């Protein structure tokens, strides 16, 4: 995937560089500079995740954030944002193109996890003539008021790299009971899907006879 991210701010279009995925990841280390008026009555930040195709760039998914929620986050904080879109099978894309396009544009309609993006937040208040544009993230450590590097302080890129290091987790997911099943007969199973891994519940045939629920063990 040749990935890039686009944000439309007013009549201006911000776009990251195009980065080719390597080992299931791509790195931009770029910053969008977005001017915001305070107080904010309403407003959404929409980030379109795109795949460069040469002729017609394909939309992989969309991220939508409320500006008010972003400004509540601590300075220089990072968080992972999940990308959801349409199922990736060619058969689905060809026979349901309009539906797939809507899924890739509207996270509320999306049904498939496409990946995630690490996003960092940093903001300045009372800035005269705020810019709207893009710049590279600094690899230099922050400086004090006199322009001298702060001992032990790390650059914004180094802080971001902390979140990129692989971590191992132990997950436990319990399949319990589902209620109010409309069908009066038949067993049901549940499927848990994380990235390319899939787990199915067992003993779905243990339907409670005469009741509208299914139990797993």
pLDDT tens for 121-179 read 988 877 777 788 999 988 888 888 888 888 888 888 888 888 888 888 888 877 666 66
Q: Is the pLDDT of residue 39 over 70?
A: yes
Residue 89 has pLDDT above 70, yes or no: no
pLDDT reported for residue 122: 86
pLDDT for 166 equals 82
Q: Is residue 210 part of a domain?
A: yes
Domain residue limits at 53 = 2-136
Same domain? 130 vs 76: yes
More confident residue, 23 or 182: 23
| Of 5-19, 48-62, 164-178, the least confident | 164-178
Helix, strand, or coil (residue 12):
strand
User: Any idea what the CATH number is for the domain that residue 63 is in?
Assistant: 2.60.40
> Of the residues 103, 136, 169, which one is the last residue of a structural domain?
136
Q: Which residue has the tokens 């339907």?
A: 207
Same domain, 33 and 129: yes
Predicted local distance difference test score (pLDDT) of residue 111: 85
- Whether 19 and 98 map to the same domain: the answer is yes
| 181 and 132 inside one domain | no
- 51 and 119 in one domain? yes
What does the mean pLDDT of the chain come to? 82
DSSP of 112-138: EEEEEEEEEE---SS-SS---EEEEPP
Number of domains the chain is built from: 2
d(CA 67, CA 47): 12
Q: Give the model's pLDDT for residue 216.
A: 60
5: pLDDT confidence band, cut at 50, 70 and 90? very high
User: For 23-27, 46-50, 160-164, 184-188, which range has the lowest pLDDT when averaged over its residues?
Assistant: 184-188
**How do beta strands 213-215 and 177-179 pair?**
antiparallel
């Amino acid at each position: 995937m040749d990935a890039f991210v686009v944000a439309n701010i007013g009549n201006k279009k911000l776009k990251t560089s195009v980065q080719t995925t390597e080992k299931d990841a791509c790195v931009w280390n770029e910053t969008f500079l977005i001017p915001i008026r305070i107080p904010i009555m309403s407003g959404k930040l929409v980030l379109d995740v795109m795949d460069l195709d040469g002729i017609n760039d394909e939309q992989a998914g969309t991220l939508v954030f409320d500006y008010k929620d972003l400004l509540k986050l601590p300075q220089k904080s990072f968080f992972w944002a999940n990308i959801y879109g349409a199922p990736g099978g060619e058969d689905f894309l060809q026979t349901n193109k309009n539906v797939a396009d809507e899924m890739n544009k509207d996270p509320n309609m999306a049904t498939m996890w496409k990946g995630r993006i690490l996003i960092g937040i940093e903001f300045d208040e009372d800035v005269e003539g705020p810019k709207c544009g893009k710049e590279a993230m600094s690899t230099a450590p922050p400086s004090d008021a006199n322009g001298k590097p702060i001992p032990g302080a790390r650059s914004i890129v180094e802080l971001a790299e902390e979140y990129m290091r692989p971590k191992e987790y132990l997950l436990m997911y319990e399949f319990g009971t589902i209620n109010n099943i409309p069908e009066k007969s038949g067993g049901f199973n549940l499927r848990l899907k994380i990235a390319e891994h899939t787990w199915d519940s067992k003993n779905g045939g243990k339907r409670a006879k005469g009741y509208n629920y299914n139990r797993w063990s």
